[in-house]
């Protein structure tokens, strides 16, 4: 039986179970019934964009405005593509390698820039996306403006002779395989974020967010924590970028630009900065909101921007803030 202490978590557990059933069973069933196979790409994009947005949310958690996630997504995409096409490495090895490399770059860059706060840090990260794009145009290994094309589909992943993931090129519907892979990545990412937020590391990050000087005075190594969180944030961005490169089977310097970095940040604002699952909801609403307004033609951007401003004014704490009762606190 559940104890009284476990009872408040029951709605969260049930909600998570319902979410998994909807994502892994209900959505594929509905798509197969309707025959809208192209919808897999849309939902896969939402899942991967939410992973990258989750990294931005983590930097907000330590009191930093990050508008540079597009840079780390582009780094991850290129690292994975180079390893697969030029080094012959399996995609399933290149995927974590891309995230780790993006995290390593974040450590090197973060050591000096994480001392900055507010708009100063935001402007540096904004410039960072453009710096990475221009570097991709200039470096020979990235093939300049031509990019890296003809990236093979992910191959088989086996352990002790047992096939865990089949070769995507042999699957009848690779879009479904990418959808499941992206959803697994998203679930693992947000489960990890939830664990981080409710761990000792999360408590220390909250203390930094409220008052860095006070946290430092009681022995918190704020410089170390800032770098660690920024590295984890960039790791998520690298993973998302690597997956996008595999789906598109190509990577260009324009694959992730400043606009994408801004969108990652907006996803967090819209979903709710005070909620772990805010980036996921924000990504879903923004992605489909933009597509639904397509019929407005030249007024699409005007209505889109106006609606965003209105939502942020009416719901400054994000869409998840409209949840009522004790259940709302479980999503934090």
Instruction: Give me the CATH number covering residue 199.
Output: 1.10.3470
User: DSSP label at 164?
Assistant: E
Residue 3 domain-assigned? no
Average pLDDT for 35-50: 92
Residue 116 domain-assigned? yes
Answer whether 100's CB lies under 8 Å from 239's CB.
no
pLDDT of residue 321: 84
Average predicted confidence (pLDDT) for the chain? 88
* Residue 46 φ/ψ, nearest 5 degrees: -60, -45
The number of beta carbons lying within 10 Å of the beta carbon of residue 300 is 15
Task: Report the first-to-last Cα separation within the chain, whole angstroms.
Answer: 25
Helices within 198-299 (DSSP H only):
200-210, 212-217, 222-248, 258-271, 278-292
Where residue 2 falls among pLDDT bands split at 50, 70, 90?
very low
pLDDT of residue 160: 80
pLDDT of residue 79: 97
* CA angle centred on 184, ends 308 and 290, rounded to 5°: 20
Where residue 323 falls among pLDDT bands split at 50, 70, 90?
low
Of the candidates 78, 123, 122, 114, the residue with the CA atom closest to the CA atom of residue 99: 78
Average pLDDT for 229-234: 95
Residue 1 domain-assigned? no
Number of domains in the chain: 1
Give residues with Cβ within 8 angstroms of 281, minimum separation 6.
270, 271, 272, 318, 319, 320
Residue 261 domain-assigned? yes
22: three-class secondary structure by DSSP: helix
Using CA atoms of 272, 276, 277, 281 in order, give the dihedral in degrees to the nearest 10: 20
Answer whether 91's CB lies under 8 Å from 112's CB.
no
Nearest-angstrom CA–CA distance, 115 and 185: 31
Nearest-angstrom CA–CA distance, 280 and 183: 11
Residue 117 above 90 pLDDT?
Answer: no
pLDDT of residue 325: 45
Helices within the chain (DSSP H only):
10-21, 27-34, 39-61, 69-86, 91-113, 118-138, 174-197, 200-210, 212-217, 222-248, 258-271, 278-292, 300-314, 327-330
pLDDT of residue 8: 57
pLDDT of residue 220: 80
Residue 59 above 80 pLDDT?
Answer: yes
26: three-class secondary structure by DSSP: helix
Residue 218 above 90 pLDDT?
Answer: no
Residue 4 domain-assigned? no
Residue 157 domain-assigned? yes
Q: Which two tokens stand for residue 259?
A: 């606009």
Where residue 208 falls among pLDDT bands split at 50, 70, 90?
confident
Residue 48 domain-assigned? yes
Residue 212 domain-assigned? yes
Average pLDDT for 319-332: 60
Structural domain that includes position 211:
9-331
pLDDT of residue 217: 81
User: DSSP label at 153?
Assistant: P
């Amino acid at each position: 039986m559940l104890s009284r202490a476990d009872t408040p978590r029951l709605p969260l557990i049930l909600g998570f179970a319902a979410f998994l059933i909807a994502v892994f069973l209900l959505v594929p069933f509905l798509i197969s019934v309707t025959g809208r196979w192209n919808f897999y790409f849309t939902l896969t994009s939402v899942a991967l964009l939410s992973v990258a947005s989750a990294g931005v949310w983590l930097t907000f958690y330590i009191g930093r405005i990050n508008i540079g996630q597009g840079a780390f997504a582009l780094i991850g995409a290129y690292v994975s593509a180079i390893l697969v096409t030029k080094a012959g490495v399996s995609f399933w090895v290149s995927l974590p390698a891309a995230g780790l490399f993006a995290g390593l770059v974040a450590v090197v860059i973060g050591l000096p820039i994480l001392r900055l706060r507010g708009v100063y840090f935001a402007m540096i990260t904004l410039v960072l996306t453009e710096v990475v794009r221009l570097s991709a145009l200039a470096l020979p290994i990235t093939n300049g403006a031509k990019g890296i094309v003809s990236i093979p589909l992910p191959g088989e992943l086996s352990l002790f002779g047992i096939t865990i993931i089949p070769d995507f090129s042999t699957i009848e519907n690779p879009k479904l395989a990418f959808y499941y892979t992206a959803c697994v990545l998203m679930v693992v990412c947000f489960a990890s974020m939830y664990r981080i937020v409710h761990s000792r590391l999360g408590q220390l990050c909250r203390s930094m967010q409220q008052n860095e000087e006070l946290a430092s005075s009681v022995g918190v190594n704020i410089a170390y924590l800032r770098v660690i969180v920024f590295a984890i944030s960039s790791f998520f961005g690298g993973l998302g970028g690597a997956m996008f490169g595999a789906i598109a089977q190509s990577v260009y310097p324009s694959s992730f630009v400043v606009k994408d970095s801004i969108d990652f940040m907006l996803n967090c604002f819209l979903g709710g900065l005070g909620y772990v699952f805010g980036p996921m909801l924000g990504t879903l609403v923004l992605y489909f909101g933009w597509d639904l307004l397509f019929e407005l033609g030249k007024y699409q951007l005007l209505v889109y921007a106006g609606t965003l401003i209105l939502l942020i004014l009416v719901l400054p704490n994000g869409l998840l803030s409209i949840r009522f009762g004790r259940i709302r606190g479980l999503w934090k």
